[in-house]
Chain A
Amino acid sequence: MTINYLGLISASDLPASFTKFFVEPVSVGFPSPANDYLESPIDLNKYLIKNGAATFLVRVSGDSMLNANIADQAILIVDRSLKPKHGSIVVASLDGDFVCKRLQLKPRLCLLPENPKYEPIYIQHGQDLDIMGTVTAAINKFE
């Protein structure tokens, strides 16, 4: 087999009919009447996240918050910028593990589950509790 090197092809080497493809003006139809009313599509991020820099996603494992509509494997939206209040659902680190519970400040500091199968967790003296942030929403997927 022999190969003849013919050099590089540039647009000017091509026959004119190659480059001028559209000889007739192209019909473009009537502009869409919706063009004046264009709005951006609904954005779930905007609905779920107020403060992006301070928001983290956490996956739930377990059913201890079932009665607060937080199922196993739900995705929690956790906003670290919101100050947790009495009754807030929070993600906290307890002795080095993350847990999701309802925060009770009075009469005694306590993490409450939302499922009668589980006991409230009273924070003992010397126990390491650190609130990571407030849960503002939970996403449960069904399919």
Chain B
Amino acid sequence: MNPLLQFDSLTRAAPPPAPLHLAIGMFDGVHLGHQSVIEAAIHSARRDGGLAGVLTFWPHPSALFRPKNPTRLLMPPEMKRAVLARLGLDFIIEQEFTREFAAVDAREFVALLQRSLPALAAVYVGENWRFGRDRAGDVAVLIEEARRAGVAVFSAPRLNHNGAPISSSRIRELLAAGALAEANALLGYAYFAAGVVERGRQLGRTLGFPTLNLAWAPEFQPGHGVYAVEVPTGPGRPLRGVANYGLRPTVGAATQPRLEVHLLDASPLDYGAKITVNWLHFLRPESKFANVGELRAQIARDRENALKFFEKCPAK
């Protein structure tokens, strides 16, 4: 497989000469619905010997339109890039969503794409995708303009899960409520945190439960609580762990939630290590304990519950 080519704007995009199959969208979370759009592009590209790419945006358009209350992204660009890379794409274009870009007339959008990507063969979008100034462009407009320009359009229907459409906002609600299993089902993979291991306050160590402290500050914050997690460390079995995400109210509340991982397996990891923490199972919400002794007892129970979880569904 070729490495993923990255471009930081449409104007600087220069994929190799081949018919281009381009999936377009915000794709926050890259959930199953997004994956169906992107996989259609990959499938067609493999079929006609072309290249499959994604055109995506940052920040979220709401940052422009309602700056006081923007949509909190499930994933920062580098996490989104990591998930997209796993899908088998050839290139990705991360276009800054500027005022100028937002002002492009919907009727001009396909021409704008073609100026940067003359070999554009087809575009792939979700059926509810909107684009252009005032969100005036929908799939019908796209079909009209693209066909005139000789570009094919493939719109993917929204996917349902348990009778309701899969959406990034539904996943946010589930994560906020600690409904991790269902959020993971809609994502099609385990929700994860990625960051560098930092020196913490050494509190866990004194409690008898040393933890890895992760520098991780996502825009959207999942529900505070305790989770069973795994930390992949290259090929082979990932390390199993119990993670606390929250303000640590018992030992002096922090102002920003932190992610701390207590590993159940012997760990070769040290400060400065770049790790990914896959969230597998919600154990309990965060709560404040009367004293450190109660907290220590609860952590021991969390450890047991996590071990029970891993016994039932062993880490891959």
Does B associate with A? no
B interface, CB within 8 angstroms of A: none
A interface, CB within 8 angstroms of B: none
